[in-house]
Amino acid sequence: MKLLAILLCLLILALPASALEVEAPTVPEMGKQWMPHNTQSLAEGLLELVQKGILSLRPDLKEASRVSLGILAAVLMICTVQSVSAAVKTTAELAGTVAVAAMLLLSTKSMIWLAADTILEIGAYGKLLLPVMTTALAAQGGISGSAALYAGTALFSSILQSAMNHVLIPGIYLYLALGTGSSATGESLLKKMAQTLKAFLGWLLKGILGVFTTYLALTGVVSGTTDAAALKAAKVTMSTVIPVVGSVLSDASEAVLVSAGLMKNAAGIYGILATLALFLHPFLKIGVQYLILRVTAAICSVFGSSRVTELVEAFSDGLGLLLGMTASACVMVFISTVCFMKGVS
């Protein structure tokens, strides 16, 4: 840690004064079309980002609705066949479950790819952004603090990225396979394995984020006051909207609100907006699919098709894990950036 601080100090001393006017890296191609025109104001930029994201959801709603209607049509066919002939009840339910699984696999596979690409893009942009923020903080005299914060942030970002690439995303594929097998065959062992795997993946993601937010609290990089009503609303919203890790992220929402309110640095504001531009559309796209599958599962349960209901719930849980992963990657860069910028403001 001392060596890192010394090297950073030498770097700052070697730079001319003009070089200390840092600029955030340009937003990657994936997020350019979602980047707001106003990058000087965080509030106005966020509003424009949300508006763009919501307006872009019409094609996604149509696609998710098409999948939902296909699932409901299969359920109606199963119920119709079963009402005509009880002898083919098991065969009809198995055939219907396989047909629904095929539809869900096609739509969910693209969501997994989208989430994986988004996480990689956010991670790559964070690796470009955080050194810039470190330089800006060190230039204000916080050399040892910037070195410690950068080292900790880089460590947790690397751990989260590795966990997502090598454990969480492959784990989601395995969970969907177990869920499909359990629904098609009715095997209780497969169902228990799927539930155990889901719990492990959620625990791993929550654990990494929990340690990261604890690290920020212990280092004292975030402090301040914010409106209590706004804080309560943000915590409730975050905990409700984001599956799996919503409760962990809601605990960090005070740090996010307080730090964001203190941001005045142009590079930091641009970096935050660029990170959100990479994150928001994929998150909303996956979120639409997740919500519609939840509604579809509820409707299927009314018709009494337990196997199809269980299958749809398994895929919606998989999408919930994807939402949690994507949000975690974004929030980690977000919190890190605003913590750096608190020292620069």
Instruction: Note the pLDDT of residue 252.
Output: 53
Specify the DSSP element, H or E, that contains 18: none
Pick the closest to residue 256 from 280, 272, 278, 274 (CA basis): 272
Q: What is the pLDDT averaged over residues 325-344? A: 73
Question: How many C-beta neighbours within 10 Å does residue 44 have?
Answer: 14
Quote the tokens at residue 175. 């969970």
Cα end-to-end span (Å), the chain: 25
Instruction: Note the pLDDT of residue 87.
Output: 61
Residues belonging to the chain: 345
Which residues fall within 8 angstroms of residue 231, CB to CB, at 6 or more apart?
A: 253, 254, 257
If you average pLDDT over every residue of the chain, what do you get?
A: 75
What amino acid is encoded at 246 in this protein?
A: G
Instruction: Note the pLDDT of residue 172.
Output: 93
Convert the pLDDT of each residue in 220-271 to its tens digit: 555 444 444 444 444 444 455 456 555 555 555 555 555 555 455 667 778 7
Cβ-contact 183, 36 below 8 angstroms = no
pTM over 0.75: yes
Q: What is the pLDDT averaged over residues 283-309? A: 89
Instruction: Note the pLDDT of residue 294.
Output: 93
What amino acid is encoded at 125 in this protein?
A: Y
Pick the closest to residue 263 from 84, 65, 53, 45 (CA basis): 45
At 295, the pLDDT band (50, 70, 90 cuts) reads: very high
The more confident residue out of 294 and 145 is 294
Instruction: Note the pLDDT of residue 237.
Output: 45
Distance CA 278, CA 31 (A): 5
Convert the pLDDT of each residue in 88-136 to its tens digit: 677 777 888 888 999 999 889 999 999 999 988 888 888 887 777 666 6
For residue 241, the Cα-to-chain-centroid distance in whole angstroms is: 11
The more confident residue out of 284 and 150 is 284
Cβ-contact 28, 124 below 8 angstroms = yes
Residue 208 in this model has a pLDDT that exceeds 50: yes
Please give the radius of gyration of the chain, using alpha carbons only, rounded to the nearest integer. Answer: 23
Distance CA 224, CA 206 (A): 25
